[in-house]
Amino acid sequence: MALYKTITVNKHTKVLIWKIEESFEELNRDIQLTNHCQQRLDGMRSEIHQRGFLSVRHLLAALNYTDFDLYYDSTGKPHLKDGKHISITHSFQFSAIIVSDTIPVGIDIEKQRDKILRIAHKFTPLQEYNTIANHDALIRKLTIVWGGKESIYKVYAEKGLSFLKHIDIDDFSMEASQTKGNVYYGNETATYALDFLEFEGFTCVYTLETNRN
C-alpha cells in the first residue's frame, strides 16, 4: 500500500500522506464502512473521488482507526470518537490526514495548476502579488495561500466565514515552509501556525490552532 509520507509535527500531532496508485477494488478490499459513509461512497460519480475517500480509510488504519471511529458534525467537520482532533483532504492522486491529541488541526492538498489564477481574486487581494513576475512561482504561492485558508477554514468551521474577508495569511518566503494565519470573524479572533510542503506538482498545507478567543 502506498503510504507516501509521515510527518511527526510534534509529540502530539502527526500528518500522513497517501499516494493513490491502487484501483478502486484494491482500496475497497477489507475496508468496512458505516452505513452513512457507504452511502456517501455509493453516491460519488467520480472513481477518483471514490479512491480518495477509500485511501483516507487506509490512512486511518495506519493509526489504528477504522471508519467506525470517525463521525461528522452538522457542518461536515470530521471528529474522532476518542476526542482527538482530525482533518482530512484528498486531491487527484494524493490524500492526507492530520491527527492531534491536543490541538485543533486542519489540512489541505491542492494540485498546482493555472486554475488558481482565475479564482485568486475570490480568496486573496491580487495586488499583494504584483512583485512576482514568474508564472510558476505565482501559481505556487497562490496555491499555498489557498491551501492555508482552506486548512484554517476546516478548523474554524463556522458558516459564513469568508476566505477573502475573514482569513489572512502572513507573507512568507517559499524557502521558509512556514507562516501564520489569522481569522477575524465577528468579535472573535484566532491565530494559526501553518506549515507547507510541495511534491510532484502538489502542495500540502497543514495548520495548528494556537489561539482562539
Q: What is the mean pLDDT of each run of 10 residues along the chain (213 residues)?
A: 91 97 94 93 95 97 96 92 97 97 97 96 90 92 97 93 96 94 95 98 98 92
Compute the 3-state secondary structure of the chain and give helix, strand, coil in percent, each to the nearest 5: 35, 35, 30
Q: End-to-end distance of the chain based on CA atoms, in angstroms?
A: 42
Residue type, 179: T
Q: Tell me, what amino acid is at 53?
A: F
What is the spatial distance between Cα 200 and Cα 109, in angstroms, rounded to a whole number?
Answer: 12
Nearest in space to 45 (alpha carbons), one of 63, 29, 24, 60: 24
**Which three three-digit cell numbers place residue 48?**
477518483
CATH number of the domain at 3-103, please? 3.90.470.20
- Domains 3-103 and 108-212 equal at CATH topology level: yes
The Cβ-side half-sphere exposure at 79, using a 13 Å CA radius, reads: 11
Q: Is 155 helix (H, G, I), strand (E, B) or coil?
A: helix
What does the domain layout of the chain look like in residue ranges?
A: 3-103, 108-212
The Cβ of residue 74 has, within 10 Å, a number of other Cβ atoms equal to 7
> Do the beta carbons of residue 56 and residue 97 sit within 8 Å?
yes
Structural domain 108-212, CATH architecture: Alpha-Beta Complex (3.90)
